[in-house]
Structure 1
Amino acid sequence: MTTTGTGDVHDLMAPDLVADPYAGYGRLREQGPVVGISLLGTPPALLVTRQDEVRAVLTDPRFVTDPELVGGENMRDRMLAQMNITEDLLPYMSRNILTTDGADHTRLRKLVSRAFTVRRVQTLRPRVEEITAALLDRIAEDGADGRPVDLVEAFGYPLPITVICELVGVGESDRAQWHEWGRVLTSMDPTRIPGVLRSAVDHVQELVAARRAEPADDLITALIDAQEDGDRLTDTEMVTMIFALVVAGHETTAHLISNGAYTLLTHPDQLAVLRAEPERWPQAVHELMRFRGPVQFTQFRYPTEDVEIGGVAVAAGTPLMAGLLPANHDPRAYDRPDELDVRRDTGRGEGHVGFGQGIHYCLGAALARQEGEVALRMLHERFPDLRLAIPAGDVTWTPRPGFSRVDELPVLI
């Protein structure tokens, strides 16, 4: 058994790792199941790199997201300080459904989980298909006469932001603003994030006030009703819940769609399988999530007691992250892990950890899978000759640690 505190500390902002995360995180994974890392000037922490160990961390209740429960270094607040988040805005970023544990997490998740059940998501499918068809009509118009169309802006973003905003209760006139806010808030740009965060918080407070005055058939009204019926939901929690749902509900799904479109266009043999066997589309979305999922690693977690991870002793309170990207390409878990195979047998469950596992499993996973399936299937059915407008090697990926995102995806229809 080895102990933590030994070995190199790898900067997750290092240019080579950001530029080619698949090779970079692969090297880290093969160095060991647990490696030392730093991010945005934080003290050294740990990254769990292999499939079995990542699943264990995500499902073991001894690992929590709130450092106050273990007296550990608050890495989240350290990173927020690097983003110039002021004291009055900190509560809107530091504590939400993504960063709480135990009874608090259960209470918050219960308030919104009914909106994202598989049954509820199935009722949304006709609307998702309707939105998709309208976007494809616009792409057909914009791409007429051989003009290239950027699928990220024309398709990847508009579908999920429309769906989540309709579900939550954000008006159509405000959605372009949310798109820009989401882009900035995931940019790690300390010069812009504080101002955008303040604008977004003010906007959500206005939405809540409007729904208190005039209820509607949306999630904001449902949260207000729950609060007035006696469920413990503070005004700050109300804002952070809506804020987290809208940002998380469109950012990751947008890039599942865009990354998936790029991946299929660069793997024509796998696209041919789906054309011949369209019943495989749901399975293909899982494989695309494994192969080119948008999220590289989780938020920080902290063991509540001394633990062992893959033969490595980790002391209580040690900050660590679960590496979703390296785990999803772990040759110990997958045959030919660096090959796309839409016929891949996922076995039990999803066959990947792209949506996480355990109590913090992605709340909107069913909706994201459905949007990804509908979007990619209808895109390729509508445009059978769809192709990249530039060489595949010239497609740029957003250089952002923690995320794998196509920056622009120009195509010809």
Structure 2
Amino acid sequence: MSTPSTVGPVDMMDPTLLSDPFRGYSRIREQSPVARAVFAGSNTPIWLVTRFEDVKTVLSDHRFVNNPANVPGTDAPNLRDELITARGIPREYAQYVLDSVLDADGDDHIRLRRLVSRAFTARRVSELRPRVEQITEDLLDRLPDLAEDGVVDLIEGFAYPLPITVICELVGIPEEDRPRWHDWGKSLVDMRPGAVAEPLRAMVTYIQDLIGRRRARPGDDLLTGLIRAHDEDGDRFSDTEMITMVLTLVLAGHETTAHLIGNGTVALLTHPDQLALLRSDPGSAPRAVHELMRWCGPVHGTRIRYAAEDVEIEGTRIRRGEPVMAMLVSANYDPRRFDDPEHLDITREPDGRREVHVGFGHGLHYCLGAALARQEGEVAFGALVRRFPGLELAVAADDLERQLLPGSWRLARLPVRLHS
């Protein structure tokens, strides 16, 4: 029998919660470790799981699945379909956002993940580092030219271009087409009904055309490998899955990293002691990235999971078929796991190889590109503080404009003065 929540249903669009999710979800965690909530665009209530160990359970336990169709013996409410309808996405395009490797379970998930996992191994990512460093230096070289009255938007001038260039080169998106992906990515977080439909159509059409071009002229890129896997065994990898994979890799491969760089830069600039530590010890960058991902990571809530059977967490029974969201933001601030969690400490990790936070998720769906994102963060923060030792915010931290989206933490822009 479920224990009554000590907080009322959480409105995930509550402006107070959106403006300070770190303290907001921490309060919810302490009052009700498993809380009812209402998600934007849906009438179906969901469970929020907020404590560190419980979040890890939801993300690794086979009793929770990503696809509601895999819940046995019941018609689970398909929250994903409700959200697609609410956002005005045409049904013929919904499959490209509902049926990705991020949403698959079991053998389907393993099959899809294996198709691209070689591109994101530690060895492959290490081989990419010189190119990541070169892209970073080139972008920082051009940054002063983008300034107006001494102020430059670090999101547009650096945080976005770095990861989108890296992932597009890896996947095989031509340089001249990359600005379109940046625009499309921004459009996908527009919460207005119908705002996503046209960008999604454009992306699918573009990928279909690019697949045709790459078939005619293969390259040394991930897309060529996906085409080869499809053509050699079309029963194993469908046309729709190939388009969806490209869409997922490009968008997931730059959006999160861009906002990690943006959020992390603000954190360092508003904590001069931590900035000084990083500047005095460039070798601390791997540990700094871990801590920044914990302290101000851009992803606060995971994709919806569904209980495949009745599961009890912290005295609350989550019934078969009910939707669940694991709250990374509250887990990463859980004092049961972290000493003084609200304190930013880039030396918190004993070394740069360990990862005790859940900023990149946990379990089988742990972020495929985590190693690449960490590397891009290490290079970006290290180069930024070295090249611009006088870097400072051009507005007060409280005046920074954010995109207020449930489950994420993103800057709309980041005006800074370089002072090289």
Question: Where in structure 2 are there 5+ consecutive unaligned residues?
Answer: none
Q: Deviations over 1:241-286 (max 9, x none)?
A: 0001001111111001111111101111001111222211101100
Q: Where do 1:86-125 residues align within 5 Å?
A: 86-125=90-129
| SS of 1:36 mapped into structure 2 | strand
Q: 1:281-320, aligned counterparts within 5 Å?
A: 281-320=285-324
Between 1:344-353 and 1:158-167, the stretch displaced more is 344-353
Q: 1:371-390 residue pairs with structure 2 within 5 A?
A: 371-390=376-395
Look up the SS of the partner of 1:411 in the other structure: strand
C-alpha distance in structure 1 between counterparts of 2:192 and 2:123, whole Å: 39
SS of the residue corresponding to residue 336 of structure 1 reads coil
Q: Distance in 1 between matches of 2:292 and 2:171?
A: 27
Inter-partner Cα distance in structure 1 for 2:4 and 2:114: 37
1:164 is displaced (CA, Å) by 0.4
Q: Which residue of the other structure, out of 346, 354, 364, is the alignment partner of 2:359?
A: 354
Within-5 A mapping of 1:3-402: 3=3, 8-42=8-42, 43-70=44-71, 71-143=75-147, 147-230=150-233, 232-345=236-349, 349-402=354-407
Q: 350-359 or 392-401: which moved more?
A: 392-401
Aligned-CA RMSD value: 1.6
- For structure 1, the residue ranges without an aligned partner over 5 or more in a row are none
* Contact 1:187–1:400 under 8 Å retained in 2: no
CA-to-aligned-CA distance 1:175-204 (integer Å, 9 cap, x gap): 111001001112223232001111110001
Letter in 2 for 1:336: D
Shift of 1:349: 3.7
Shift in CA distance, 194/346, structure 1 to aligned 2, threshold 3 Å: farther
The whole-number CA distance in structure 2 between the counterparts of 1:284 and 1:98 is 27
Aligned equivalents of 2:132 and 2:231: distance in 1? 31
Moved more, 310-319 or 110-119: 310-319
Structure 1 CA distance, aligned partners of 2:269 and 2:208? 42
> Percent of aligned pairs with the same residue?
53
**Corresponding letter in the other structure for 1:87:** R
Query: In structure 2, the residue corresponding to 1:89 is in which secondary structure?
Result: helix
- After TM superposition, give the deviation of residue 408 of structure 1 in Å: 1.3
| Displacement of 1:397 | 1.7
Partner SS for 1:88: helix
Once residues 91 and 405 of structure 2 are traced to their aligned partners in structure 1, the CA distance between those partners, rounded to angstroms, is: 26
Which residue type is aligned with residue 280 of structure 1? Answer: S
Tell me how far 1:393 sits from its aligned partner. Answer: 1.9
**d(CA) in 2 for partners of 1:385, 1:364:** 32
TM-score normalised by the chain length of structure 2: 0.95
CA distance in 2, matches of 1:4, 1:80: 31
Secondary structure of residue in 1 paired with 2:92 = coil
Alpha-carbon deviation of 1:7?
A: 5.5
Report the residue type matching 2:80 in the other structure.
R
Aligned equivalents of 1:5, 1:300: Cα separation in 2 = 20
Q: CA deviation at 1:305?
A: 1.2
Q: What SS class does the counterpart of residue 313 from structure 1 fall into?
A: strand
SS in 1 for 2:91: coil
SS at 1:374 equivalent: helix
In 2, Cα distance between the equivalents of 1:16 and 1:275?
Answer: 34
How many pairs align? Answer: 412
Q: TM-score, normalised by structure 1?
A: 0.97
1:229: Cα distance to partner? 2.0
8 Å Cα contact 2:154/2:416 also seen in 1: yes
Q: Counterparts of 1:7 and 1:318 in 2: how far apart (Å)? A: 19
- Preserved CA contact (<8 Å) 1:4 1:313: no
Give yes or no for contact 1:62–1:305 (8 Å, CA) kept in 2: yes
